[in-house]
Amino acid sequence: MAQKDAKVHIRVAELSANIAQATMQDSTAMKELATESKKDSSAMKILTILGIFFLPGASIAAIFAMPTFNWDDDGVPTINSGFKYYWSITIPVTLLVLFIWILARMLPTRIQSLITGNRRTLLGGNFGGGMERK
C-alpha cells in the first residue's frame, strides 16, 4: 500500500512539474506579448497627438473651402483677405481640442485618486491615466 501511495505521489509531482513548466512558458509568451502591445500603444498615442494637431485645421479648411491664393495675370499669388479668419478660428479650435484631450487623460486618474485616497496621483503624478510605475 505504501509503495502504491509513493508511486501516486511521484506521478503527482511529475504532473505538477509539467504544469509549472507550461506555466513558465505561458508567462514568457505573455511577457513578449505585453512588450509588443506596449510598443503598439506608444505608436497609437503618437498618431493620436498628430491627429489632434492636424485634424481641426483640415476640418475648418474643408468647411470654409475658400480659395486661399488669388493668382494675378502676372503669375504672382496674393493671399485672399479672408485667410486671416482661417487662422483666427483654427488655432483656438486646435487648442480647445488639445485641452479636452489633456482633461480626458487626467480626469479618470484624479477621480480614481479621490476614491482610493492615493495622494501621489491626486497631487499630479501619473499623468497618463494608467498604472503607476515603480
Q: How far is residue 97's CA from residue 94's CA, in Å, rounded to a whole number?
A: 5
Task: Quote the pLDDT of residue 84.
Answer: 82
Question: Which three cell numbers mark 131?
Answer: 498604472
| Domain total of the chain | 1
**Cross-strand pairs, 129:** none
Decide if 117 is inside a domain. Answer: yes
Q: Is 47 within the bounds of a domain?
A: yes
pLDDT for the residue 49: 84
Read off the pLDDT of residues 18-51 as tens digits, 9 standing for 90 and up. 999 999 999 998 998 888 888 888 888 888 888 8
Give φ, ψ of 124 to 5 degrees.
Answer: 120, -5
What's the rounded mean pLDDT across residues 43-66? 80
Determine, yes or no, domain membership for 12. Answer: no
DSSP 129: S
Distance, CA of 95 to CA of 42 (rounded, Å):
22
Judge contact between 81 and 73, C-beta under 8 A: no
Does any domain span residue 34? no
Is 46 within the bounds of a domain?
yes
Q: How far apart are the first and last CA of the chain?
A: 53
The answer to whether position 20 is within a domain reads: no
- Residue 131 inside a domain? The answer is no
- Domain range enclosing 64: 40-122
The model's pTM: 0.43
Residue 35 within a domain: no
